[in-house]
Copies of this chain bind each other. A is one copy, B any other.
Amino acid sequence: MVPVCKVASAGLLTGALMMAAPLSAQKLEEISRPKGPLSLESTGSFFVGGHAAKQNATEIGLYGDGEITVDQMYVQYLIPQKRSGLPVVMVHGGTLTGKSYETTPDGRMGWYEYFARRGFPSYVVDQVGRARSGFNQAPFNAARAGAANPQSQPNLRRVANDVAWVRFRFGPKAGEAFSDSQFPVAAASEFAKQAVPDLGQSFPAYDPNFSALAALAQQLKGAVLMGHSQAGRYPFEAALLAPSGIRALVAIEPPGCKAAEYSDDQITKLARLPILVVYGDHLETPQSQGVSWLPFFQDCEKFVARVNAAKGNAKMLHTSELGIRGNSHMIMQDRNNLQIADLIIKWIREMTRPAR
């Protein structure tokens, strides 16, 4: 029996009281300011990838026909004044954006800033087809105008707040937290604001995120690629496509590792790079909810064994096995998120030489 506790302040996510009331905005005063200053060489943003698409006026939706640009990937960065590590690229998961790695829902420092403070040039992307990377609106506008079957529109996925609570392992049941939960459940309504519609499923077999990440790593001339959840295997896929700029791969809570699906040739290629797979706690979520992370975890264990059998250097980092309890699927936002970051940073430093 998993210990649980009621979370009064999480009531925003549960029940009829919520229906009409607006969510209260996070107060700026609730955001904690780090004690020491952050000294940056620079901060900014740019794009990788992208190509032109010719569309008619209906598809474009404003003024007239012509070309627009699609499949670009937005990238933001913090370059610390004093560097002591390789660039780290962070990719968020499904129905989310790069915000995953910024300030946590309860106002603490995220990994984006923390890695920069620890000396790593820190890069966060918005996946192609989402947030500041935009998406191709043509199929929607064509259907709206009667020029295409609405069924040809991509499905725009989101996840209901109560469903996320259980699937992201804040607790066994919406509104109830595990007694040792590291997720800041009182700020769950702020976490809900991070979600955006996700067209990812609509990409063909070739996902433009893979080539964009590979291109980014090449421009960085040696980078650590880190992916979370739905993007957990993106670092693997980018490395299989073009490994030349990639120095290490980190998969945070991926939906399995395709242990049985990667070919021997693919495993041999992946075995050339250090690989870390990270999972939190409570992987056996209740049967009543029809979801469990355990099979994904077990698949990744098999993947790690297969890579290492091919003379690779892969490792599982299962936080609860280290005695760190209660980590959720949103581990980069958990209350002990910097403790987890330190474990990953330690591994990165061991696996990579210092930056020039």
Contacts and interface: CB of A to CB of B under 8 A. Distances in A.
A157 B25 CA distance: 28
Contact of A193 (B72, B78, B98): B72
Contacts of A155: 61-62, 141, 144
Interface in A159-175: 159-163, 167
Given A43-B43, A74-B99, A157 B195 contact: no
A153 B158 contact: no
Interface stretch (A13-21, A255-263, A323-331, A340-348): A13-21
Contacts of A110: 44
Contact of A38 (B42, B50, B68): B42
A161 B69 contact: yes
Interface residues of A, number: 97
A66 B134 contact: no
Interface string A12-46: 11000011011101111101011001111111111
Contact of A43 (B12, B55, B78, B137): B78
Nearest to A208: B22
Contacts of A226: none
Contacts of A29: 219
A354 interface: no
Interface of A is mostly: mixed
A150 B146 contact: yes
Contacts of A51: 21-23
A264 interface: no
A113 interface: yes
A39 B43 CA distance: 11
A182 interface: no
A286 interface: no
A110 to B, nearest CB: 7
A33 B83 CA distance: 15
Contacts of A84: none
Interface in A263-290: none
Interface of A: 12-13, 18-19, 21-23, 25-29, 31, 33-34, 37-52, 54-55, 60-69, 72, 74, 76, 78-79, 81, 95, 97-99, 102-103, 107, 109-110, 113, 126, 131-135, 137, 140-141, 143-144, 146, 150-151, 153, 155-163, 167, 189-190, 192-198, 212, 215, 219-220
16 contacts: A23-B69, A25-B48, A26-B47, A28-B220, A33-B41, A37-B41, A37-B81, A39-B40, A44-B110, A50-B192, A69-B161, A131-B131, A131-B132, A132-B132, A140-B140, A146-B150
Given A44-B110, A74-B99, 19 more contacts: A18-B67, A22-B49, A23-B72, A25-B47, A25-B50, A26-B47, A31-B44, A37-B39, A37-B40, A37-B81, A38-B42, A43-B43, A43-B78, A45-B102, A61-B156, A66-B163, A69-B193, A98-B132, A140-B153
